Amino acid sequence: MNISDRPIGIFDSGVGGITVFKEIKKLLPGENIIYFGDTKHNPYGSKSKDAVTRLSTENVRFLLGKKVKYIVVACNTASALSLPFLKKIFSVPMSGVIEAGAKAALEITKNKKIGVIGTRATIESGAYLKALLKLDPKLKIKSLACPLFVPLVEEGWAGSKIAELTALEYLKIFMEFKADTLVLGCTHYPFLKPVIGKILKKTGLIDSAAETAKAVRKELEQKSLLRNNTAKPAYAFYVTDGPARFKKVGSSFLGYNIGPVKLIEME
């Protein structure tokens, strides 16, 4: 197989990376894509750096076994804690989602007050804080871990009353802070956009998926890895647990049946 015909690999701790899959598919409609969700070990956001790095390393090895040409670390926690290590030990080109989200937030904010929500591990890593202040040291940033959001999305409850009440409790500090921009620092959180937007009506919501897709296209262009084959692209989905639940939530978000979701065994 010509290397440019090989698929793009995307991995996440669960269904959240479907938001990134959607944007890459939209921006690069000719590309083959393999999606891997480590649903057995979800959520990553409550795990240690060592655990997340070990799991992320196994995820990359799985995707390399599928002969991918590029890997997108669609999990914010894995991007924050493991991406530098992954880039050091693997030669396959790869990118995360943190810098893309920070760049998008800077482009939108008017009052320089940016909120960031994410998993505990992502927030405690300070990855978004560092990325944002590197772009503009004058920014005022308030960060908050929202650990209940991921299980709500994984259970398919993103539009429920429970999700709304949970979001209201988490997000009131950003109303007090007067943030005009909120970074959804977890790929699961865009599933909650309608609920979050209802609470923070005047706040711009940033998910890094679209910016990540742009970064992927740019790097594939630079490395002459864009697929030129006119044959219909193929998409494959793999998970480590709960394929039926993944299919239901993923299909609901994308608005079409994603087809078979294959279960694989990983320790």
pTM (predicted TM-score): 0.92
- Give residue-wise pLDDT tens across range 183-229: 999 999 999 999 999 999 999 999 889 889 999 999 999 999 999 98
Based on the residue annotation, tell me whether 146 is a catalytic residue of this protein: no
Domain ranges of the chain: 3-97+210-263, 98-208
Catalytic residue among 186, 205, 206, 225: 186
Confidence of residue 156 (pLDDT cuts 50, 70, 90): very high
Which of 41, 32, 81 has the alpha carbon at shortest distance from 239? 41
CATH architecture of 98-208: 3-Layer(aba) Sandwich (3.40)
User: Residue 266 above 90 pLDDT?
Assistant: no
CA 55 to the chain's CA centroid: 16
Q: What is the pLDDT of residue 267?
A: 65
Identical fold for domains 3-97+210-263 and 98-208, yes or no, is yes
Question: Could you tell me where the DSSP H helices lie in 157-208?
Answer: 161-177, 193-199
Longest dimension (CA), the chain: 55
CATH architecture of 3-97+210-263: 3-Layer(aba) Sandwich (3.40)
User: Residue 80 above 70 pLDDT?
Assistant: yes
Which amino acid, residue 31?
A: E
Catalytic residue among 75, 105, 205, 258: 75
Phi, psi of 255 (to 5 degrees): 85, 15
